[in-house]
Amino acid sequence: MSTQFQGVIPPVITPRHADGRVDTASLKNVTKHLLDGGVSGLFVLGSSGEVPYMTNEERELVVSTIADANAGAVPLIVGANEQTTNRVIEEARKVVDLGADAIVVTSMYYAIGNAQETETHFRSIHAAVDKPIFAYDVPVRTHFKLPTDLLVRLGRDGVIAGVKDSSGDDVSFRQLVLAAKDIPNFDIFTGHEIVVDGALLAGAQGVVPGLGNVDPAGYRRLFDATQDGDWTAAAAEQDRLADLFDIVYTPNGRVSGGAAGLGAFKTALQIMGIIESNTMSAPMLSLNAEETSAIRTILERNDLV
């Protein structure tokens, strides 16, 4: 079907100086690294950007910095991350003013809702914001799995332009792709870094990989191979990216799960000379010298340093 968005749209990390301030120079370097890698768009203020830890001023700084560095090269898809409907609408209007071409919205969180309230939530945001809306299915953070029938209904009614699926539920992902295959301009993206070839084979329009911060060119090669119908090449590239993904398992257990994965991406980019520091947002701990050495070994065997 016709599509508005497709390809590789990484969730951009947020570099910080050692003192915790947002590092705008490094953020511009990351944006250039992603554009040079051939990405199709940029997902700003997502989980990989550590958005729950950011102040309002930091969110605005990050969006404006990336928008400036991007200079219209690719679409900016920006998260409007707030707990409830009116707060999301307020946040969405802010990021649209800062240059968002589309917004990404989760179900409500902290607030205790149900499917009916979630439907009202998305319909109200659609009525208030004149930009495409992607539903972000990330139950590990919202504690609510977006039902397939709800997503398809919202897609058919033009309320949402697609779904960014980070549920980790491959069964429901396949069911969503099948149920939505005849909806025009409804784009489904997987956030699962190591099964991208399978998701694209099933009919997804693209991928939003956190690991894409480190190796955007690899994900672009993977996507291009699938578009050429070269599934052998796609599988080979996916296998290599699965090996590279081992960087997230290098932390020795002293950091949280969130700090391990995002810290690995930041540490890899620091080793590659793209960002200044691997500092995490407080109170998360940054990776140490031993973990950095292990990540360097994985980068070396993947020819990234």
pLDDT range class, residue 232, cuts 50, 70, 90: very high
Q: Is the pLDDT of residue 253 over 90?
A: no
DSSP 111-154: S---HHHHHHHHHHHHHH--S-EEEEE-HHHHS-PPPHHHHHHH
Average pLDDT over residues 57-64: 98
> Mean of the pLDDT values across residues 35-63?
97
pLDDT tens for each residue of 11-30: 999 999 999 999 999 999 99
Quote the pLDDT of residue 52: 96
The alpha carbon of residue 291 and the mean position of all alpha carbons in its chain are separated, in whole angstroms, by 24
Q: Could you identify the residue written with the tokens 């033009």?
A: 158
- The predicted pLDDT at position 51 comes to 97
pLDDT tens-digit readout, 144-153: 999 999 999 9
Tell whether the model's pLDDT for residue 198 goes beyond 90.
Answer: yes
Burial 20-44 (b: 16+ CB within 10 A, else e): eebbbebbbbbbebbbebbbbbbbb
* Residue corresponding to tokens 């397939």: 148
Percentage of the chain surpassing pLDDT 90? 98
Residue appearing with tokens 């897609």:
155
Please check the confidence at residue 68 and state whether its pLDDT lies above 70: yes
- How does residue 255 score in pLDDT terms, banded at 50, 70 and 90? very high
Q: What is the CA radius of gyration of the chain?
A: 18
Check pLDDT > 90 for residue 189: yes
pLDDT higher than 60, residue 98: yes
Band of pLDDT at residue 252, cut at 50, 70 and 90: confident
Report the sign of the C-alpha dihedral through residues 106, 109, 115, 120, in that order.
negative
- If pLDDT is split at 50, 70 and 90, which confidence band does 2 have? low
pLDDT surpassing 60 at residue 248: yes
CB 14 within 8 A of CB 54: yes
CA distances 264 to 13, 258, 285, 287, Å, are 11, 10, 12, 7
Residue 1 has pLDDT above 80, yes or no: no
Q: How far apart are CA 261 and CA 250, in angstroms?
A: 9
Interhelix angle for 289-301 vs 257-271, to 10°?
A: 60
**And the tokens for 94?**
């802010």
Give 3-state DSSP helix, strand, coil % of the chain, rounded to 5: 50, 10, 40
CB 274 within 8 A of CB 283: no
